[in-house]
Amino acid sequence: DLATALNNRGQIKYFRVEFAAAVEDYTAAIQCQPSFEVPYYNRGLVLYRLGCFDEAMKDFRKVLELNPQFEDAALSLKQAILDKEEKQKRGY
């Protein structure tokens, strides 16, 4: 389906370190199929790597809302929270 194809194209762009383009594809996949948790997770990973912790945490929480058993999302959420706290402690 279209949402899966957009997510997969986003993955290719992510591996090419084309983060902005990957986020666009993941967002398009989400718009196409809002109940599909995988593009939320993938977009969250890109946002996390870019240091956009609040946006990443929002995506990881959405994944867990859609699929509470998604363990990688739970781990990524915990890591994003820890990294955000560490960043705040250091003052940047």
Distance CA 69, CA 42 (A): 16
Q: Express each pLDDT in 4-40 by its tens digit.
A: 999 999 999 999 999 999 999 999 999 999 999 999 9
Q: Express each pLDDT in 65-85 by its tens digit.
A: 999 999 999 999 999 999 999
Nearest residue to 25 (alpha-carbon basis) of 41, 38, 43, 37: 43
Top CATH class, 2-90: mainly alpha
pTM for this prediction: 0.94
Domain positions in the chain: 2-90
In the block, tokens 């809002």 appear at: 34
DSSP code of 68? T
